[in-house]
Amino acid sequence: MKTIKKNYLKFLIPAKSAGSAMHFTKLLFAAILLFGIVTADSGCKSHKKIVAAPRDLAKEKADAEAKKKKEMEEQEAARKKAADEAAAAAKKEPYDRVEKQFQTIASAPSVTAANDAIADALKSYTSADLPLLIIIFREGATVDYDKPTTVGNYLAFIKDQKKSINKVDHLEMDANGKIKQIILIKK
């Protein structure tokens, strides 16, 4: 061990003779070697980054395409949902309009106002003599109806009773948008 240490120290300690130029060369060589090792190590990392960059770009491109596809699918689903909701609202609108007419007639402050509301409501039907059915019982395919009446008579009944105790179960419209069949059900 002593000899290794002694040799090592000889390398670091300059000789007293003309070997000082040689010593400087050795130190310079050691410094260059050390610098080369340090830069070679960092050079490998940047080389890895350069090689990995195309893979990362491909992955990023695939991720971007997947994200874009997902966004398009979400937009399509949202558009379809909005269209379905609009169709449901359009289908429900006549039901709501008829029930609102019933409430307007029932809550009219005077007989004249009720008669005006009835006249306005009858414009929505093909005829004042249109048959109106009221479901009083339904279980599966079995349906029982109250005694049939007409739309005109039912609206007069609502006016007299000052309340609407039935809701619209089914409506059928003609080509002009007027109601040609109406079925009510007990609330």
Query: Are the CB atoms for 132 and 150 separated by under 8 Å?
Result: yes
pLDDT at 160: 94
The predicted-structure confidence for 77-130, as pLDDT tens digits, reads as follows 888 988 888 877 777 888 899 999 999 999 999 999 999 999 999 999 999 999
**Nearest one of 127, 105, 114 to 174, comparing CA atoms:** 127
pLDDT of residue 94: 87
Biggest CA pair distance of the chain: 134
pLDDT of res. 35:
65
* SS3 (DSSP) at 181: strand
84 phi and psi angles, rounded to 5 deg: -65, -40
pLDDT tens, residue by residue, 125-148: 999 999 999 999 999 999 999 999
The predicted-structure confidence for 28-80, as pLDDT tens digits, reads as follows 666 676 666 666 555 555 555 555 556 677 788 888 888 999 999 999 988 89
Alpha-carbon distance of 100 to 185, in angstroms, equals 15
Question: What are the structure tokens assigned to 89, written together?
Answer: 């609202």
Looking at residue 87, its pLDDT comes to 79
Beta strands in 140-178 (DSSP E): 142-145, 149-150, 166-173
> What's the pLDDT tens digit per position in 159-173?
999 999 999 999 999
Give the whole-angstrom CA distance, residue 117 versus residue 143: 31
